[in-house]
Each structure stands twice: as structure tokens, then as C-alpha cells.
Structure 1
Amino acid sequence: MKLLNRTALAVAALLTPVAATQAAVSLQSLSDTEFAFGGYVKADLMVSNYSEGAPDDNNISRQFYVPGAIYGDSSRGKSVTDFHARETRFNFAATNEIDGHKLKFFVEMDFLTHTDGNERVSNSYSPRLRHAFVSVDNWLVGQTWTTFQDVGALPEALDFVGAAEGTTFARQGQIRYTNGGWQFALENPSSTFTDYTTGVRKTGSSDLIPDLIARYNFKTGSSKFMLAALLRELEYEEENMDESTFGWALSGSGVIPVGSGRDTFKFMANVGEGAGRYMALNFVNGAVLGNGEVEAITTYSGFASYQHWWDEKWRSNITASALEADYDTSPVAAVNETSYSGNINLLYSPVKPITVGVEYLYALNERTDGTDADLSRFMFSLKYVL
């Protein structure tokens, strides 16, 4: 027993300097880490008129404009008023440099899209994960904006997206490498299909090959531009069917200063076959299923937006956005085909963290059988940036 005790004391004596050194390194790393807490609080008041009747309270279209989600319920009234603060978001970041390597981690959450709350008493909605990633030097791993999307080109709007038809839009898991203006990424594959007979959306059960994206960011004077390419496989393996097709898309966007003041012009143009969920919040699926075949759907989309500063505190944005789908073989049932929207706003920032504004949005969605639906919305918002 004495021998064992002596041995334990000897080992402890040897390990104590190691533990102390490790603790010192950990404390030093922690002291060199920069922490940041951010986000914003945003309160929205929306008065909406749906031509085909208002959707139910938990429908995503009652939170922000989503193309294809405005057809509503014809048994309900057309006009509704909504107050909510669900766009409010919080994020936490930490950056450090260890052994010459730059490290960062970032997490962000908000309260949109969930249907697990209601407006009757408490308006309690659970948070959802927006971003969660770690980056080491040029590499990023985790969930964040798709590399195919130029977030910097999005117009300033009170609506959550602002140019829903014309922008590429997705957040998903990925592995991304950045070198100067070039970015290359492997991203989560998720295919969506339209049933030829019923028009119902179906998802692929055997997405195997990651979506491949290449992007180039560059500047010309004070203007910023982006070019991106997407290549993906859409495979459907269910119901005694095993077929696939390749999809592709190209996107170009830019932010151009106008005049000698703070005015800017923003734009985006997209084209692709089988792009599906990357365009207009999945207004159109990637391909049509029918007769034992998978046929990619062609889409064209884009937006243009102009921001004018009236003075140092007042500004306005006017935006037009559109998408058109081309079906080589149109499904028997009516499905989404074209979508247009436009919005104009007036924003006021009495001090830098606060923005108060009003906005009007009009949207028109059309299906392959000629039926359509439109949405008119007046919106008031107050936003405080942390």
C-alpha cells in the first residue's frame, strides 16, 4: 500500500507541471479570444390583403412574403392584421489566432417559420437555428448562407427577404474553401420534384452527390460584383423508380454606387435547369416526375433595386423582382409558373442603431392553368440593432 501511495504521489508530481502548463495555455488562449454578441430586435405590423382569402395564422406567408404561399383559404376573409417580433435575432461569435491560424465560430438564431406557437395568449415561439459554423483560415465548415447567394446584394427592405423571386436564397450545411475572390464549396444536396399527375411536391430519397458551387467576387472601382455557378444531381429513387438528371445554374449580382452621394443600385440575374429550391424560396421544384423520367425545370429570375438617401437620416428603396419557369412537359395539375413582386419603402434612422419605416409590397403569382393570386401589404417596422 505504501508503495502504491508513493507511486501515485510521484506520478502526481510529474503531471502537476503538465496540467499547470495546459491550464496556462488555455487561459492564455481564452484571454486572446475576442467575443462578440449581436443581432437585433425587430417589431412588425402588417396589414395584408389576399385576393384568394387569407392563409391561417401560422402560415409562413403571414410572417413574410413567400412566393407560392399567398393563395390562402377562400373560406376566410381577405384582409388581416398581424403584429409580431419573430424576425428578432441573436448571434454569438468568437475569434482567435492560435499558432498562426485564424479561428472563428459563429452561432445565430431567430424565431421565424415555426408553427409551434399561436397569437391567442402568449405568442411563444421557439428559436430556430440560422447559422452555426467554424472557420479555420480559408476553410469553413457548418451551416450558413449558400455560397451561391450574394447576401450583400439584397435590397434593404422591411420584408424579411425583400426580393423573394429574384434572389437565390438558402442556408445549409457545407464545406467551403476561400482564396482571395474565389470560393469553392460542397453543400448539402436536397432535391425537390413535381409529380406530373398531381402536381404534389416530392423530395428525393437518395441524394448522394453534394451540390458543387464555384464563386468569384471582384471589385471595379467602388462597385462590387459576384459570379457563381452551381452543379447538382437530382435523383429520385422511390415507388419502383430510380432516375436522375443533372441540374445547373448561373448567377450574377452587383452593388453599384450612383452619383456622388450614398445612393446605390443593386441587381441579380439567374438562370438554370434543375436549380429548384435555390430560386425564389423553392417557388418551383427542380424537376418533373412522370412516365418514368426526371425532367429538369428551367427557371429565369432576377431583381433590380435602387436606394436613394434623402438626407443623412431618411432613405427609400424601390425594388422589382420576378421569376419565370419553363416546363418542357407541363404537369396535368396546375403548378407554379411565374411570380412578380415590387416594394417601396421610406426608412428613418434618428440614431444609428434604430430604424423606423413603412413599406408597401405587391405580389402576383400565376400557375400553369392561368389561375393567379395577389397580395397587397402595408408594413410598419421598428428595428434596434444590438
Structure 2
Amino acid sequence: MINNIFKITLILSSSVIFAQTSSKDSIVIGRNPIGDINAEQVSKAEIPGAAIVSRSKYGVLAIGGFFKTLGIVDTKSEMKLDASMPGYLGIPGVDAAQHGQSYIDARATRITLTALTDVEGLKFKGYVEWNFRGEPTNFSFRVAYLTITTKSGKTEFLAGKYFSNIGDVYSVPDALSEPTVSGLMVNERQEQIKWTQLLSPNFKFSTSVENAPNADVLGSEIKNRIAPTVTTNLSWVHPQFKTHFFIGGLLRNFWLTDKNDVEYKKIGWALSAGTHYNFSPKTRLQYVFSTGAGIGNYMVGADPLAAGIIIPNDKLSLRKSMGHYLALQHKWNDVLRSNVMSGMVILDNRTDYPSIFTYRSTQLGINTMWKIKKFLTVGIEYWYGTREDLSGKKWDNQRFVFGVQLF
């Protein structure tokens, strides 16, 4: 069963999203697992993860999603956001609370819409996902894409908004909210065109052209011109999915203009590699290491302007950074599981950079999740995050979270 699922997921751009139909006129649609604490339960459930709203000779249309609510208590300063972001601690205009806060957040609730059809041997899938993370709490797109897969299942094209190809969803930790441990590279969701090729039953290669983040460079009234990012990703997976390794590369083209119409051009880069390993059916280890220049908002744990800085009438300086994280999950039994996560990001330190820039951020998290019913999971989580700026000043925060998700 695992092998069959894995062969399908390989061609779907390194995700565990899959779709299949059966002779019983039913459909099973796996979901985007990032921040979904019921992902495994729903994909294996007797009731599918989505309900069919239309079936005809043209294809199948299904709707799905889940309801999630989090209660959050911060002891010091942190963004008022369900995902903990240590790289933003102590930054003027970003921190919402300097003396702690508590609130209830339901913005991670999702709605999904999936369409499947076959046309002359090609398999088409359209997937749209919304949540309420828009500002202030607007209903907004999270991901939206179309995939076209060949009859053999070895080649796939993706067009739309999806997680950047530099990251790897198999290595993402299991957290109550979106896992945002420092060093994580599955952070940016970008409009992109991607080609994925299954080279063998165990090797997969993908490459993409993506829009890049346009607000992570410090300068005076910057205008960001068309400057796409090119990525590649090669992964190998154990036949029984006991372990996998990946290595990804990114070239980011910076093409900026300041208020005086002076142009600045530079190429940023990133390398990322990681693995997951199942010591047993109950224990899993994940590790990822990344480094580069001009990575910016692709990496969790950096500040909002971590890609670089424009020095007026001089040059564009790209910031170098390095990050890594480690996560360990243990399933105590069929209903109880725990996770420990730790990560760090270090950025270069130069005297001509503003002192508010991040030098280092660290993060440690631990959680336990309890499946009360088949589609109802609750969890408790603790985070400790720090940020040190270039002047040596340090901020920290402790976060306590209680969460519940239905479906």
C-alpha cells in the first residue's frame, strides 16, 4: 500500500497530495499536509478527505478542508500570528506585543476545491486552497495550481502557486500551526511553472521557474522588476519509504531600481539538502541544512529584509546565511504522538549593515497531539525562540499553544 501511494506522490512535485478514483464511484483526495495535523488520518480514512459535489463524463469535482482553532499565549514579544517567527522578534513595526499577549486564532481553517479529468491519456488536476490569513482576516488563496501528468505517470507539469521547489515537504516537522522552525526552507509559496520527471522508481528530478519574494531587500523606494528564480531538486527515496534524501539548488535574479532610477543587478543562490529516516514505524528523524546568499524570505528565522541591502549609488549587497533544523517524532500508540524540533539561522555581520538586522535566530519546540476521534485531534505545544541583532541585543519569547482540528 505504501509503495503504491508513494509512486503516485512522486509525480506530484514532492508532496503527499494524491488523487485516485475507484470502481465504486468514490474519490480519495489527499491534502496539502503542511500545518494539517490530521493529514495521515484523512488520507487513510474510510470517509475521504473531500466530498464529491459533481461527477460527469467531463471529470470529478470535490470540496474539502478542515476547521482549526488555536489558543496562544506569548510571554514577551512576538508577531500576532499562529506561526511562531523568531526572526521578527524586536523589529519596529513588526512586533505587535512587547509585553506578552494571549489570543485565539482560527485563521488556519482551510477550504479546498479539487477537479480531476482525463483528456486523451493526460491526467489533469486542478487544486485550489483558501484560508483566512489575509489581512486583516480576509478569505485568501494559499495555493492554487494545475498539474498535467502523462499516461505513464513519469512526467508532470505544474503551473500556478505552490511551495517553492527549493524546499522539501517530506522533511517538514509536525506542528500545531504551520511549522516555522528556524532554518526551514519550505516557506515561500510562489507562482511558478515546474517540470517533474521520474528518473527511476527511486529517483525524481524537478526544475522550476518561479516568481521571487519582492519585499526582502532594504532600500529607498525600491522598484522590483521582472526577475524570476530558477530552482532544481533531486531526490532519492528508499523503496519502502524508510528514508529519503534530497538536494536542491536556487538561482535568484535581483533586478532592482531605486527612487533615482539607478539599477542594481545581482544573482543570489542557495543550496539545500536534507533527509528523513524512519528508525521504526513509530520513530522518525528529519534534518535539513541550507546555505546561500540573498536567500531572504525563503528561509524561516531571518528578518523581513534578510535578502540584502541597497547602498545608495554604490551597490546591492546580498546577505549570506546558513540554517539547519532537526526534528524527531515518536508515535506512542495509535492515538498519541509527540515531536521535538530545533533550528538555527546565522546571517553575515558587516559594519555597513543596520544594527537592527538579524545576526542569529534560534528556536526549540515540543508538542504532543492526541487523536480523540477519527477526525478530531487536539494538541499542546511549547516554543522558545530568540533573535540577536547585529548590535548584540537579544530578544526572546516563550509561546504556549493549545489547538484543536476537526477533519
Q: Does the alignment reach a TM-score above 0.5?
A: yes
Q: Verify: 1:132 aligned to 2:132, yes or no.
A: no
Which whole-Å CA distance do the structure 2 matches of 1:33 and 1:281 have between them? 42
Partner of 1:319: 341
Partner of 2:5: none
Q: How does 1:212-291 map to 2 (within 5 A)?
A: 212-221=230-239, 222-240=242-260, 241-259=262-280, 261-280=281-300, 283=303, 284-291=305-312
Can you list the C-alpha shifts for 1:72-106, whole angstroms capped at 9, x where unaligned? 78996623211121111111111111111111101
Which of 188, 195, 201 aligns to 2:211? It is: 188
Give yes or no for contact 1:104–1:134 (8 Å, CA) kept in 2. yes
Give yes or no for contact 2:214–2:224 (8 Å, CA) kept in 1. no
Give yes or no for contact 1:354–1:383 (8 Å, CA) kept in 2. yes
Letter in 2 for 1:97: D
- 3-state SS of 1:267 partner: strand
Q: 1:70 to 1:159 in 2, by over 3 A?
A: farther
Which of 83, 87, 91 aligns to 1:68? It is: 87
Partner of 2:228: 210
Which whole-Å CA distance do the structure 1 matches of 2:349 and 2:67 have between them? 42
Q: 1:358 to 1:206 in 2, by over 3 A?
A: closer
Greater fraction of residues in helix: 1
Partner of 2:190: 172
Partner of 1:83: 104
Letter in 1 for 2:99: K
Displacement of 1:369: 0.5
Q: Verify: 1:45 aligned to 2:63, yes or no.
A: no
Displacement of 1:329: 5.0
Which whole-Å CA distance do the structure 2 matches of 1:322 and 1:75 have between them? 23
Give yes or no for contact 1:234–1:286 (8 Å, CA) kept in 2. no
Can you list the C-alpha shifts for 1:312-345, whole angstroms capped at 9, x where unaligned? 1111100001100014554144211211011001
Which of 173, 190, 196 aligns to 1:155? It is: 173
Which whole-Å CA distance do the structure 2 matches of 1:83 and 1:29 have between them? 38
Q: How does 1:103-122 map to 2 (within 5 A)?
A: 103-115=124-136
Identity among equivalent positions (%) equals: 22
Structure 2 unpaired stretches of 5+: 1-53, 150-155, 199-203
Which whole-Å CA distance do the structure 2 matches of 1:233 and 1:77 have between them? 36
Q: 1:148 to 1:194 in 2, by over 3 A?
A: closer
Give yes or no for contact 1:133–1:141 (8 Å, CA) kept in 2. yes
- Pairwise CA RMSD: 2.4
Letter in 1 for 2:390: T
Which whole-Å CA distance do the structure 1 matches of 2:111 and 2:123 have between them? 23
Which of 317, 339, 347 aligns to 1:295? It is: 317
Displacement of 1:281: 6.5
Letter in 2 for 1:231: L
- 3-state SS of 1:225 partner: strand
Give the aligned length: 336
Give yes or no for contact 1:192–1:203 (8 Å, CA) kept in 2. no
Give yes or no for contact 1:63–1:113 (8 Å, CA) kept in 2. no
The structure that has the greater radius of gyration is 1
Q: 1:193 to 1:244 in 2, by over 3 A?
A: farther
Which whole-Å CA distance do the structure 2 matches of 1:101 and 1:77 have between them? 54
Partner of 1:25: none
TM-score of the superposed pair, with normalisation by structure 2:
0.77
Letter in 2 for 1:71: G
Partner of 2:56: 30
Letter in 2 for 1:45: G
Q: Verify: 1:141 aligned to 2:162, yes or no.
A: no
Give yes or no for contact 2:324–2:345 (8 Å, CA) kept in 1. yes
Partner of 2:398: 376
Which whole-Å CA distance do the structure 1 matches of 2:255 and 2:394 have between them? 31
Q: Verify: 1:363 aligned to 2:381, yes or no.
A: no
- 3-state SS of 2:364 partner: strand
Structure 1 unpaired stretches of 5+: 1-27, 116-124, 196-200
Q: Verify: 1:307 aligned to 2:319, yes or no.
A: no
Which whole-Å CA distance do the structure 2 matches of 1:75 and 1:142 have between them? 32
TM-score of the superposed pair, with normalisation by structure 1:
0.81
Give yes or no for contact 1:61–1:70 (8 Å, CA) kept in 2. no
Give yes or no for contact 2:85–2:180 (8 Å, CA) kept in 1. no
Letter in 1 for 2:86: P
Q: 1:246 to 1:203 in 2, by over 3 A?
A: farther
Partner of 1:4: none
Q: 1:267 to 1:76 in 2, by over 3 A?
A: closer
Which whole-Å CA distance do the structure 1 matches of 2:86 and 2:96 have between them? 21
Can you list the C-alpha shifts for 1:24-78, whole angstroms capped at 9, x where unaligned? xxxx99335233322211111111111xxx56xxxx4343212333327899662
Can you list the C-alpha shifts for 1:177-229, whole angstroms capped at 9, x where unaligned? 1111111100013444554xxxxx66752433310001112113521222110
Moved more, 343-352 or 296-305: 343-352
Which whole-Å CA distance do the structure 2 matches of 1:182 and 1:225 have between them? 12
Partner of 1:12: none
